[in-house]
Amino acid sequence: MNERDFIREALSNLAVFVREKYASRRNVCISEKREANDILTEVDLAVQEKLVERIKSAFPGDFIAAEEEGFSRFPEDPNVRAWVIDPIDGTQNFVRGYFPSFGISLALAEGGVPIAGGVIVPMTGDLFFGQRGHGSFRNDSRLEVSSISTVGLVRAEIDFGGPWDRPGTLAAFDTVMRNVGQIRCHCAAVIGICSVATGDMDAYFHVGLNPWDYAAAQVILEEAGGKVTRLDGSPAYLFDGGHGLLATNGRVHDDLIRIIHPQA
């Protein structure tokens, strides 16, 4: 099985599992990670375990980086072929029933750049998939970013994250919030970035992401015609230690960077 089919099949199968767990989410075991607002459920762990097992079986020599216990690590060589997993992006939304804003994310990267990735929204069944040089799709429909080119018309997704992120978020994006047309927040990076890929949103900002939060969504957006960089406009390599991310339709990217960094 090639990587494209592997990603699509793995995500589709796991979406069924997560939908079943969602129905009984009030009985799901929840634990805290670093903060009370940063939580982990048995469903996160189960999904990650299932994906890790599949990858080890199909691609035994590949590195695996994932959000949860034991795999939240970077490769010593950032150029290795690596699978990047977020078992449930938007765990708070899953637990609290914020329908349908959570997704399962799986990407394959080479040289710190995602070359293929999928995001599935379990509650709708929507499967987003992108492959470098081959476009990106929601189910069978090709994706294309919006044509908005004026900052004042931009629909921006600013993910405020947990309490530890908010001071930096407010400081970094104060001017952005004063200039864009609309501001929304799904509180799930993969959903927010894929919303830019569909053209429903025009830009996504975050000050504190890890590779598993955006790897799959990055290639999906870029193959839809969008652009993804660090907040200063430098390239976003998955394992470069950076956290801030700007993901846009490409047309407003440079203008937004100038607003974030007026002296740049």
What are the DSSP calls for 31-62, one per residue? EESSSTTSEEEHHHHHHHHHHHHHHHHH-TTS
Mean pLDDT of 52-56: 97
Q: Does one domain contain both 227 and 161?
A: yes
Q: Does one domain contain both 30 and 104?
A: yes
Strands 245-248 and 203-206: antiparallel
Q: What is the pLDDT of residue 251?
A: 99
The residue segments making up the domain with residue 178 are: 151-260
For helices 3-23 and 42-58, the axis angle rounded to 10 degrees is 160
- Domain boundary residue, one of 142, 167, 193: 142
Q: What is the pLDDT of residue 37?
A: 52
Q: Does one domain contain both 132 and 164?
A: no
Q: Does one domain contain both 15 and 131?
A: yes
Whether residue 172 is predicted with pLDDT greater than 90 in this model: the reply is no
DSSP 235: B
Mean pLDDT of 237-247: 91
User: What is the number of domains present in the chain?
Assistant: 2
CA dihedral of residues 64, 67, 72, 73 (deg, nearest 10): 50
Looking at per-residue pLDDT, the higher value among 37 and 182 belongs to 182
28's tokens: 């799901």
Q: What is the pLDDT of residue 264?
A: 53
What DSSP line would sit under 108-127, residue for residue?
Answer: EEETTEEEEEEEEETTTTEE
Mean pLDDT of 119-144: 98
Looking at per-residue pLDDT, the higher value among 113 and 33 belongs to 113
Q: Does one domain contain both 160 and 102?
A: no
Whether residue 72 is predicted with pLDDT greater than 60 in this model: the reply is yes
Give residue-wise pLDDT tens across range 214-236. Answer: 999 999 999 999 999 999 999 99
The pTM for the full model equals: 0.93
Identify the burial level of 45 via C-beta atoms within 10 angstroms of its C-beta, where 0-12 means exposed, 13-18 middle and 19 or more buried. middle
Q: Does one domain contain both 207 and 231?
A: yes
Confidence band of 164 (pLDDT split at 50, 70, 90) = low
Q: Does one domain contain both 9 and 133?
A: yes
Which residue, 182, 183, 143, is CA-closest to 160?
A: 183
Q: Does one domain contain both 137 and 173?
A: no
Q: What is the pLDDT of residue 111?
A: 94
The rounded distance, in Å, linking the Cα atoms of 216 and 131 is: 9
Please tell me whether the peptide bond between 60 and the residue prior to it is cis, using omega within 30 degrees of 0.
no
Q: Does one domain contain both 131 and 166?
A: no
- Domain boundary residue, one of 120, 142, 164: 142
CATH code for the domain of 247? 3.40.190.80
- Domain boundary residue, one of 74, 108, 142: 142
DSSP 249: -
Q: What is the pLDDT of residue 70?
A: 74
Average pLDDT, the chain: 91
Helix (H) or strand (E) holding 177: helix 166-179
Confidence band of 147 (pLDDT split at 50, 70, 90) = very high
162's tokens: 């947990």
Q: What is the pLDDT of residue 43?
A: 92
Q: Does one domain contain both 121 and 17?
A: yes
Q: Does one domain contain both 79 and 168?
A: no
Which residue, 203, 171, 164, is CA-closest to 185?
A: 203
Q: What is the pLDDT of residue 215?
A: 98
DSSP 70: T
7's tokens: 């990603």
Mean pLDDT of 98-125: 95
Q: Does one domain contain both 163 and 64?
A: no
Phi, psi at 126, each rounded to 5°: -65, 125
Whether residue 202 is predicted with pLDDT greater than 90 in this model: the reply is yes
The rounded distance, in Å, linking the Cα atoms of 228 and 235 is: 8
Do the Cβ atoms of 192 and 201 come closer than 8 Å?
yes
Do the Cβ atoms of 233 and 264 come closer than 8 Å?
yes
Looking at per-residue pLDDT, the higher value among 208 and 19 belongs to 19
